[in-house]
Structure 1
Amino acid sequence: MIGKIIAGSSFAGTVGYVVKKQSRILAAEGVTPPNVREMVQDFKDQTLLNPRLRNAVGHISLSFSSKDAPCMTDALMTQIAQEYMQKMNITNTQYLLVRHLDQPHPHCHLVYNRVGNNGQTILDKNIKIRNAKVCRALTEKYELQLAPGKESVRRERLREPDKTKYEIYDAIKTYLPNCGNWNYLELRLKERGISMRYKYCGSTNQKQGVLFSKNGFEFSGSKIDRQFSYSKLNRHFTQTQQQTHYRATLAKGFHAAIGNYRSAYTALFGNMGGGGNKGQTDAGSINFGGNIGALTLPPNDSSVGLSAAQLQRKPGESPEEYIARITALLNTVAEAMAIAAMERKRRLRERKPKMKL
C-alpha cells in the first residue's frame, strides 16, 4: 500500500478528475453524490467557515499491489481508507472516496476538505512523513503487498509534466549505477537532452540542491524521486568513490601478495611448475585467470599447508571479502615458506664440513 499526496488547487478540478467513467464512489461524508457540481458546491460552502485558509483542497491516492486485487473488495478498500483517515487525523470533515477501475492495480482517491465541520483546519504539517508511516502500518496490519513503484507506471498513459518527469527518472535510474561523480552523470544525461543545474545556499558556493530540466520543464531531484535529492545523490557518489578506492587498494594488496607468494615458493621449492623437489607429491595449482594466471600450490608433504579449497570463494562471501581473505592467506603462507627456506639454508650451512687450518 502506498499513499501519494497530490496537490490540488480547486475542488472543481479535483472532484471532476476523480469522478470519471471508470470509477465507483465508495463513501462520502458531508457531500451529496453522484452529481459533481453539487459535491463541488458542498465543499466550497464549508470553506466559508475558514476563509483565511488559502488552499482547502485535500487529495490523496491510495494504491495497492495487483497481487492484492483478488481480495481487495470495495468494502475492504473503504475500511482501509477510513482507518487511514483516522490515523492521519483527517476527521470531522467532508470527504469523498472514489475507486478507479482504469489500472490493473487497485487504487482509490480520497478528496477531503481541510476546513473541518467546525471551521477548524485539518493540518498538513509533515503529511508526507505521517503518510509513509501510516501506509507501512496498514500494509503490515492487513498483510498487503507493496504497491507498484515507478517502474510499473504505464508511461504511454502519462501527460505533461509527468511524462517528462518520468523520462528524467528513467534516464537517471539507467545511468546512475555506472556514474562515479556528478560530472559524468551530467554528461550522460545530456545525451538524453536533459540539463542539470545546482541550487546554492544564499550567495555562497555551497550546493544544497539539484534541478533537472527537459522539454521546458524543470524539477528538483527530490520531486523526481526522493532517492534523487542532492544530498542522497551526493552520498551515492561519495560512497562510490570510497568503494572504488577501497577496491583499488584491495587489488594492489592482492597483487603484492601474489608476488610475495611466488618469491617465497621459488626460494623454498624452486621454480613454479617444476613439480617440486624429488620425492614430493605435487598438490596442483589454482588458476586466478587474467594477468595472474595459475598459482602452484605447495607439495602435499610440505610443512607449509595450502589447498585449492582454501582459495575458493565461500558461499555468501562478497568479492571484497574474498580478495581480503585470500590476500591475508597468501601473505601468511608466503611468510611461512620464507621462514622454512631460511631454516633449510641454516641447516645446510651447519652440515658443511669445517675447513681445517
Structure 2
Amino acid sequence: MMAKIIKGKGFKGCVNYILDSKKGTTLLEAKDVRLKSKASIIQSFVSQAKLNPNLSRSVGHISLNFSAQDKDKVTNEMMVIVARDYMQKMGIKDTQYIIARHFDKEHPHIHLCFNRIDNKGKTISDKNDRYRSEKICKELTAKYGLYLSPGKEKVKTNRLKDPDKTKYDIYNLLTQLVSKSKSWKQLLYNLNRYGVDSQFKYKGQTDEIQGITFTKNGYSFTGSKVDRMFSYSKIDYHLKQNLFSQDQTQNKSQHQSQTKDIVESTLDALSGIGSMQVHGDDYEEEAFKDRMEYEEEKRKKKRQFRPKF
C-alpha cells in the first residue's frame, strides 16, 4: 500500500474530483458533512474551515493505493478499515472527512478528503507528513497482509539502460550516504566525490529551499523522482535525526565519563578516610597502653609506701 499526499487550497476542486462519476466513484464513508449534494458537502467543509481563517491550506487530500495483486482481496469494507487506521496513526481525527473509491485504474485505490481544521477549530499538523505516511503505510501493509513490493533494492540494475541506470546509481548512493551524513555539506561533498552534482531549488527570490535536483552523466532527477524518501524535506529530516543521535551519544558518553570520575574521586576519598581511621585506631591503642602502664606504676608506688604493722 502506498499513499499520495496532495496539497490544496479549495474544497470545491477536491470534492468534485473525488466524487467525479466518470471515475466510477463509490462513496464509502463520510463523517460530519451534509450528504444532500456535492454542494452541501463542500459547504460543510468550508464552514468548518472558517473556525481558523488564518490557515491558508485547510484541505487534506490523500489517495491510498493498493497493489493490483491485492485486487481480489481488498473489499470496500477493508479499504474503509485500513483508511480509518491510517488516519488515526497520522493524527487525522475529530474532523470531517469523506472516503470514496475510484475504478479508473487497474489497481484498487481510494481518495480521502478531510478538513485540517478539526471540530474544535484546531489545526491538524502536516509536519513531516510524507515521511510519517511512508512509515505508516509499511506498517499497515504488514498488519493487513497486503502485497509488499520488492522495492528498488531487488531491481537488476545491470539490465537497465539510461536514464534509469543513472537514476538507480544515484538511488544507491543516497541510500548509503544519507544514513551516514550529519549535514547537507557532508552529504553533498560525498555525492560529488562519486560524480553526482546537486542543486537546490529556492522559493521565488527567497532563501527558502523547496527542493533538490541530482545530476549525473548528464541526467538530472529531482530527489522525489529518485525516490519519495529522497525528497528535500525527507533528506533534511534524516540529517537532523542523524545529528541528534550523534549528540545524544556524545552526551551519554560524556555523562558516563563524568560519573566514572566522580566515583573514582569518591573511592579515593573513602580510601583516605580509611587510612586516617586506621592511624587513629593505632593512636588510640598506643594511648590506651600508656594509660595502663601509668596506672600500674601508681599501684606499685602505693604498695611501697603502705605502713607495716
TM-score range, shorter chain: 0.5 to 0.7
Per-residue CA deviations over 1:152-200 (Å, capped at 9, x if unaligned) read xxxxxxxxxxxxxxxxxx96424445799979999xxxxxxxxx97239
Structure with the larger helix share: 2
Per-residue CA deviations over 1:303-337 (Å, capped at 9, x if unaligned) read xxxxxxxxxxxxxxxxxxxxxxxxxxxxxxxxxxx
Specify which of 33, 45, 61 is matched with residue 47 of structure 2.
45
- Shift of the 141–121 alpha-carbon distance from structure 1 to 2, 3 Å rule, reads same
1:58 aligns with 2:87: no
Q: Which deviates more, 27-36 or 80-89?
A: 27-36
In the TM superposition, residue 16 of structure 1 has moved relative to its aligned partner by: 1.0
Asked if the contact 1:222–1:228 (Cα under 8 Å) also holds between the matched residues in 2, the reply is yes
Specify which of 204, 210, 230 is matched with residue 213 of structure 2.
210
Asked if the contact 2:167–2:226 (Cα under 8 Å) also holds between the matched residues in 1, the reply is no
Asked if the contact 1:2–1:147 (Cα under 8 Å) also holds between the matched residues in 2, the reply is no
Q: 1:96 is matched with which residue?
A: 98
- The number of aligned residues is 193
Letter matched to residue 4 of structure 1? K
In the TM superposition, residue 57 of structure 1 has moved relative to its aligned partner by: 0.4
Asked if the contact 1:29–1:95 (Cα under 8 Å) also holds between the matched residues in 2, the reply is yes
Structure 1 length-normalised TM: 0.47
In the TM superposition, residue 100 of structure 1 has moved relative to its aligned partner by: 0.6
Per-residue CA deviations over 1:235-264 (Å, capped at 9, x if unaligned) read xxxxxxxxxxxxxxxxxxxxxxxxxxxxxx
Asked if the contact 1:8–1:58 (Cα under 8 Å) also holds between the matched residues in 2, the reply is yes
- Shift of the 176–5 alpha-carbon distance from structure 1 to 2, 3 Å rule, reads closer
State the distance in 2 between where 1:43 and 1:116 align: 10
Specify the SS of the correspondent of 2:7. Answer: coil
State the distance in 1 between where 2:226 and 2:101 align: 26
In the TM superposition, residue 5 of structure 1 has moved relative to its aligned partner by: 1.1
In the alignment, structure 2 segments of 5+ residues that lack a partner are 153-160, 174-190, 203-210, 236-309
Q: 2:274 is matched with which residue?
A: none
Asked if the contact 2:167–2:221 (Cα under 8 Å) also holds between the matched residues in 1, the reply is no
Specify the SS of the correspondent of 2:27. Answer: strand
Specify which of 114, 117, 120 is matched with residue 119 of structure 2.
117
Q: Which deviates more, 37-46 or 218-227?
A: 218-227
Asked if the contact 1:67–1:145 (Cα under 8 Å) also holds between the matched residues in 2, the reply is yes
In the TM superposition, residue 113 of structure 1 has moved relative to its aligned partner by: 0.1
Per-residue CA deviations over 1:333-353 (Å, capped at 9, x if unaligned) read xxxxxxxxxxxxxxxxxxxxx
State the distance in 1 between where 2:122 and 2:226 align: 33
1:198 aligns with 2:199: yes
Asked if the contact 1:2–1:146 (Cα under 8 Å) also holds between the matched residues in 2, the reply is no
Q: 1:31 is matched with which residue?
A: 33
Specify the SS of the correspondent of 1:7. Answer: strand
Counterparts of 1:257-336 in structure 2, within 5 Å, are none
Asked which structure has the greater CA Rg, the reply is 2
In the TM superposition, residue 133 of structure 1 has moved relative to its aligned partner by: 1.9
CA RMSD in angstroms comes to 3.6
- Shift of the 69–46 alpha-carbon distance from structure 1 to 2, 3 Å rule, reads same
Specify the SS of the correspondent of 2:87. Answer: helix
Letter matched to residue 173 of structure 1? D
Per-residue CA deviations over 1:251-292 (Å, capped at 9, x if unaligned) read xxxxxxxxxxxxxxxxxxxxxxxxxxxxxxxxxxxxxxxxxx
Specify which of 116, 130, 133 is matched with residue 131 of structure 1.
133
In the TM superposition, residue 63 of structure 1 has moved relative to its aligned partner by: 0.7
State the distance in 1 between where 2:9 and 2:151 align: 26
1:105 aligns with 2:96: no
Per-residue CA deviations over 1:51-77 (Å, capped at 9, x if unaligned) read 111110001110111111112111111
Per-residue CA deviations over 1:121-164 (Å, capped at 9, x if unaligned) read 111112112212211111111111136989xxxxxxxxxxxxxx
1:72 aligns with 2:63: no
Specify the SS of the correspondent of 1:118. Answer: coil
- Shift of the 7–229 alpha-carbon distance from structure 1 to 2, 3 Å rule, reads closer
Counterparts of 1:342-357 in structure 2, within 5 Å, are none
Structure 2 length-normalised TM: 0.54
Letter matched to residue 57 of structure 1? V
Quick one: higher RCO (CA 8 Å, sep 6+), 1 or 2?
A: 2
- Shift of the 57–66 alpha-carbon distance from structure 1 to 2, 3 Å rule, reads same
Q: 1:18 is matched with which residue?
A: 18
In the alignment, structure 1 segments of 5+ residues that lack a partner are 151-169, 187-195, 202-207, 213-217, 233-357
1:173 aligns with 2:197: no
Specify the SS of the correspondent of 2:14. Answer: helix
Runs of 4+ in 1 over 6 A off after TM superposition: 147-150, 178-186
- Shift of the 4–96 alpha-carbon distance from structure 1 to 2, 3 Å rule, reads same
Asked if the contact 1:176–1:185 (Cα under 8 Å) also holds between the matched residues in 2, the reply is no
